[in-house]
Structure 1
Amino acid sequence: MTLRLTIDKFTGENFHLWKFKMQAMLKAKSLWRAIERTLPLDTADQDACRKEKKAMAALVLSLGDEQLMHVQNAATAAEVWRKLKKDGDGMLEHINKVKMTAQQLEAIGAKVDNENIITTLLYSLLESFESLIVSLESRADDLTLEFLTARLLHEETRCSEGQDGGERTAGPSMAGAGSATPL
């Protein structure tokens, strides 16, 4: 009997919940070792190769299309996991915190529209994002939350890939986490 477990695709929201569910699923299917592996895969070990492929497929197939761009160049399941964790702790986490705050305000009866969320996101970024902010503000009439989210994540990826040694320059420190203006 095959253990069939499914989880909702990660679309950029609630990373920590998705991560918890994904970790549980990979462990239940005995695939977690592929994520923990730090040494190169021994291609002579057919069982390890099979588990690597299954872990990679489970991760990739559990991602929404908008999240795939962050991991499409990863060669192993462990690399996919590391990239998702890094992104989950960066700009995406900041965006999700702003969205969660908006949802909490709506839950108590405050009116919060996407324009409020967009404004909060734009003004919660550090000065290093100034040129991007100006560029995005110039298209204020057709600026959507989805476009802004994609653009900020792309900018974070671009900044982190431009660093020698893979150190990231975008993330909570760039996003000014905790410094968002009220919605």
Structure 2
Amino acid sequence: MGKAASKLSNEDLNELKKSTKFQTKELKQWYKGFKRDCPSGKLTREEFIRIHKQFFPFGDPTDFSNYAFDAFDKDKSDAIDFKEFIIALSIASRGTKEEKLRWTFNMYDLDRDGIISYDEMLLIVKAIYKMIGPMVELSDDEASPDLRVQKIFRLMQKQPDEKISLDEFTAGSKTDPNIVMSLELYSGLV
């Protein structure tokens, strides 16, 4: 691709303006940074994990990074291209609460069957607890991943042997202050 790959094409730029909440100038800046950090035009799983380790030095973000990577990697190519990256970043930083909840649901739905099981949620929550390490003090009813998932299922009026649909996840998550707060984590940062 040579020089052509060093800039976003007008077609790609127009497509990304329609599918993200970024302006032309921002998209060009993000693309320049992405190409600087990922000259191949692809972000590998290993690079993605390394980036998360910089943000979570007191925990182990490896498992969470793998789950997040799979959510970013929409085409399942085992690499994140700029389009996948910028669309996910747009949702995380500027998306509506519903868009953020849908993206989060998709990350929790590990087998991509359109519902979240207790075991799927437990795997993600364990990864989050492992990632944050000892830096966050948790309430007694959330002191372990099991207790946190039990609390979420109770909040959504589900038993551990039941599954959660996107609509149930969206409705239930809006009543959990921790989930609502985590959705706003990236708002306004970019």
Q: TM-score range by the shorter chain?
A: 0.3 to 0.5
After TM superposition, the score normalised by the length of structure 1 is 0.34
- Structure of greater Rg: 1
TM-score of the two chains, using structure 2 as the length reference: 0.33
Which has more strand, going by share of residues?
Answer: 2
